């Protein structure tokens, strides 16, 4: 039904919703970029037009992971020298990537002209994409929190290690108490089995329910899978190189699950709204 409405709006040339999903996790190395890239490619394979904003300024960013060269980044959009479509690079399986780079840090102190420019740049993109994924950095910096607050959905990647669980909880707590986020979804990554994955989800959900006012849903498991590491070494996505591997199948299921999440049809579902929320708060 939502898809029908969206298609109707698309053909009528009107503004229509774009799913904005922040992929986060608190702890480093839990699989945020792997989930972002493979979910993005899996959604592309389903016919969705997907853009991945690489909002991590560290070394291991999306373009490096995929062996892509990014001559321009979000900084050039803020300078007004390039449009978003010009800085975008083509990733595997038709995935579009916006290299954030130093532009992400600069979003802290935008002038009103830059603010307006960024909102304009994203609203031009709205007609060309169905889903915007945001791969966030590790930790709970204001940048990470602001992207999560601005997005429609927050996907928290967790694995079954004490540090991952406590960091994910700390992140959800700040998002809920200080940033007004009222719902998050959990991906149990590097899971030994589906039952281990649901047990991990239950553990996090029960602590959140007890101490926070946040709705925590289960997005699904991604098994520990050596094929995923091999794909990364080959600088590709496992959903392309080994679609029927355990993780390849899990990412396809996750993509189908994502498409079942409801999308607000009003202005809060528009891409412009995401950028306005992002720049309003200011990223530090």
Cα–Cα nearest to 155, from 254, 270, 225, 86: 254
Using CB under 6 A as the binding rule, the residues of this chain from 21 to 50 that contact ligand ATP are 25, 28-34
Q: Which stretches of the chain are assigned E, i.e. beta strand?
A: 19-24, 50-55, 89-90, 96-99, 131-136, 153-159, 183-191, 215-223
C-beta closer to ligand ATP: residue 19 or 27:
27
Tokens of 96: 């579009």
Please report how the helices 162-179 and 194-211 are oriented relative to each other, as an axis angle in degrees rounded to 10.
40
189 touches which of Mg ion, ligand ATP, none (CB within 5 to 8 A by kind)?
Answer: ligand ATP
Answer with the entry of Mg ion, ligand ATP, none that 73 interacts with (C-beta below 5 to 8 A by kind). Answer: none
Of 32 and 96, CB closest to ligand ATP: 32
Which one, 134 or 205, has the nearer CB to Mg ion? 134
Q: Over the Cα atoms of the chain, what is R_g?
A: 18
Q: Which of ligand ATP, Mg ion, none has residue 24 at its interface (CB below 5 to 8 Å by kind)?
A: none
Residue 253 touching ligand ATP (CB under 6 A)? no
User: Applying CB under 6 A, does 243 fall inside the site for ligand ATP?
Assistant: no
Closer residue to ligand ATP (CB): 102 or 182? 102
Q: Which of residues 175-194 bind ligand ATP (CB under 6 A)?
A: 189-190
Q: How far apart are CA 252 and CA 168, in angstroms?
A: 24
Residue located via tokens 């038709």: 94
Structure tokens at 124: 């031009």
Per DSSP (E only), the strands in 129-229 are: 131-136, 153-159, 183-191, 215-223
Residue 63, phi then psi, degrees to nearest 5: -65, -35
Shortest gap between Cβ of 229 and ligand ATP (angstroms)? 4
Residue 276 binds which entry of ligand ATP, Mg ion, none, with Cβ cut-offs from 5 to 8 Å by kind?
A: none
CB of 186 to ligand ATP, least distance (A): 14
Residues within the interface to ligand ATP (CB under 6 A): 25, 28-34, 56, 60, 138, 189-190, 222, 224-225, 228-229, 232, 247
């Amino acid at each position: 039904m939502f898809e029908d409405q969206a298609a109707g709006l698309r053909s009528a040339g009107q503004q229509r919703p774009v799913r904005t999903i922040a992929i986060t996790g608190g702890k480093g190395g839990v699989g945020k970029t792997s989930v972002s890239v493979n979910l993005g490619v899996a959604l592309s394979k389903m016919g969705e037009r997907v853009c991945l904003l690489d909002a991590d300024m560290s070394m291991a960013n999306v373009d490096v992971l995929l062996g892509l060269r990014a001559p321009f980044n979000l900084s050039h959009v803020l300078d007004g020298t390039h449009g978003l479509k010009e800085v975008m690079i083509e990733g595997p399986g038709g995935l579009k990537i916006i290299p954030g780079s130093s532009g992400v840090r600069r979003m802290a102190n935008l002038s009103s002209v830059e603010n307006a420019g960024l909102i304009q740049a994203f609203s031009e993109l709205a007609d060309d994409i169905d889903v915007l994924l945001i791969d966030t950095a590790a930790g709970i910096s204001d940048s990470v929190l602001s992207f999560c607050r601005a997005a429609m959905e927050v996907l928290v990647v967790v694995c079954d290690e004490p540090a991952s669980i406590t960091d994910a909880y700390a992140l959800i707590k700040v998002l809920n108490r200080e940033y007004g986020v009222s719902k998050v979804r959990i991906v149990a990554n590097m899971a030994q089995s589906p039952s281990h994955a649901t047990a991990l989800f239950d553990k996090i959900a029960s602590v959140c329910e007890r101490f926070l006012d946040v709705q925590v849903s289960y997005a699904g498991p991604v098994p520990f899978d050596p094929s995923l590491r091999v794909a990364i070494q080959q600088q590709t996505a496992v959903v392309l190189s080994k679609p029927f591997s355990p993780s390849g199948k899990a990412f396809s299921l996750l993509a189908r699950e994502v498409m079942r999440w409801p999308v607000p049809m009003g202005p809060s579902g528009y891409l412009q709204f995401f950028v306005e929320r992002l720049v309003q708060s200011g990223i530090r």
